[in-house]
Amino acid sequence: MRRTVGLALCMLPLAATLVASAPQSRTVKEGVYSTAQAARGQELYRSQCTECHGNALQGANGPPLSGDRFISNWSGRPLLELVDKIQNTMPFGKPGTVSRLQSVDLSAYILQSGKFPAGQAELSEDRLAQIAFPGARKVATPAAAAASAGVTLSPPEGNLAQLMRAIAFPNANIIFNVQVKDPNVPTKREVGPNFDYIAWGAGVYTGWLPIEQAAIAIIETSPLFLTPGRSCQNGLPVPVDRPDWKKYTTELMEIGRVAKEAAIAKKLDAFEEISEKLSDACQNCHRVYRRDAPGAMRCQ
């Protein structure tokens, strides 16, 4: 017993040291960038960003980078995510042409434009993950958002199989395909003798953008699996009230969010695990409601 107490007493100074040295969380309200840094970001913004986001960051072809909408979109999120998004996806059509340091400077200018105060020290890479926008994000379900806006959801047009084939199947395959086709490698477009809209459309958005868009499609449309009144292909109602059905839908949305963040960060190595988890999310549901049941018994 003495040895245990003695060990605990000896550990107290070490614990205190670790707590004192641990990085402390801050918000962008606490002067996390310098005025000089924001000035560099402003010059870069004027040359690279105004066409899409407006002279005053009010938004144009692209979303606003200041104001209530911007703050709402980034509420509670780490500043690191904003810097990553700028570096990996901007400018639109030319992602990767802005350096890491430039992305940090641009973020400083965005903070200054949002009336967040400047500090003495420059915003540094090693502190980004410990700095967050104020507030906690609130994610409303599509049904809740529609209800609050006084919107009535339309009855489903297609059955569950049609919805899966139209949206989930092709977009999941885009994500799976990252394992065999590196989005960082430019694809040479073959031009045939006859114009093909599908082939043309497939080449409009290239690189990581189609992967991010596929993930967004999965996130945004998975709640449609819970639409009241939808039928399965065999005519039986989709079991929208069953806890396991809701769980499978939530799992699909969660892996979609992971895929989206990995696509924005261009994390090629992450997609082997993402593809495995996406496959598992699909198969967990199929195993119960499709694969092990004959056609007439599915969705029970």
| pTM of the model as a whole | 0.64
What average pLDDT does the chain have?
A: 84
Tokens of 270: 């992450």
Q: Which long-range contacts (CB under 8 A, 24 or more apart) does 213-217 make?
A: 214/170, 214/171, 214/172, 214/174, 214/175, 214/259, 215/171, 215/175, 215/256, 215/257, 215/259, 215/260, 215/263, 216/256, 216/260, 217/167, 217/171
Is the confidence at residue 291, as pLDDT, over 70?
no
pLDDT tens for each residue of 20-43: 444 558 999 999 999 999 999 999
The number of angstroms, rounded, from the C-alpha of 253 to the middle of its chain's C-alpha atoms is 11
Q: Comparing C-alpha atoms, which of 73, 93, 95 is closest to residue 84?
A: 95
pLDDT tens for each residue of 87-101: 988 888 788 899 999
Which residue shows structure tokens 């938004």?
A: 59
Mean pLDDT for 232-249 is 90
Tokens of 49: 């960003």
Contact indicator for 296, 234 with CB cutoff of 8 Å:
yes
Contact indicator for 196, 240 with CB cutoff of 8 Å:
no
pLDDT value of residue 39: 97
Domains of the chain listed by start with CATH number: 25-132 (1.10.760.10), 150-297 (1.20.120)
Contact indicator for 121, 34 with CB cutoff of 8 Å:
yes
Q: What's the pLDDT band for 15 if we cut at 50, 70, 90? A: very low
pLDDT tens for each residue of 193-228: 788 888 888 888 889 999 999 999 999 999 999 999
Tokens of 171: 């977009």
Is the confidence at residue 146, as pLDDT, over 80?
no
Q: Count CB-CB contacts under 10 A for residue 101.
A: 12
